Amino acid sequence: MKLGRVVGTVVSTIKSSGLNSHKLLLVCPLDLAADSVASKDGETFVAIDLAGAGEHEIVLVSYGSAARISAGTSDVPTDAAIVAVVDNVQIGERNAYSKG
């Protein structure tokens, strides 16, 4: 699993039936080595939303076959799924991110 920031949404009216009940979000991976939780340049990807995430939120993303493990996603053609909305990121003694 990796951390990312939701940067947008993807709308598709014609798609695989397995995707019909899932919101598609555009996610940018995060760089935790920086002084703050900052988005990496490029590498933006689409993920199905299983956690009710919104734009600008930091999320936990599961990849590959693990993205299809939760209930109702075994037949979903995806390689990335948002599985949690992050409230806090602590790096050592430093609070790198707090929601709200």
Nearest to residue 77, comparing CAs of 38, 99, 48? 48
Domain membership flag for residue 92: no
For residue 35, the model assigns a pLDDT of 60
Domain membership flag for residue 98: no
Domain membership flag for residue 97: no
Q: What is the band of 38 on the pLDDT scale with cuts at 50, 70, 90?
A: low
Domain membership flag for residue 94: no
Residue range 52-90, pLDDT digits in tens: 999 999 999 988 766 566 656 666 777 889 999 999 988
- For residue 33, pLDDT over 80 is answered with no
The residue segments making up the domain with residue 59 are: 2-87
Number of domains in the chain: 1
Q: What is the band of 43 on the pLDDT scale with cuts at 50, 70, 90?
A: confident
Domain membership flag for residue 99: no
The angle subtended at Cα 7 by Cα 62 and Cα 46, nearest 5°, is: 45
For residue 68, the model assigns a pLDDT of 62
Cα–Cα distance, 91 to 33 (Å, whole number): 9
Domain membership flag for residue 65: yes
Q: How many other CB atoms are there within 10 angstroms of residue 35's CB atom?
A: 8
User: What's 51's domain CATH number?
Assistant: 2.40.50.220
Q: What is the band of 92 on the pLDDT scale with cuts at 50, 70, 90?
A: confident
Domain membership flag for residue 69: yes
Burial of 46 (0-12, 13-18, 19+ CB in 10 A): middle
Q: Tokens for 25?
A: 């979000």
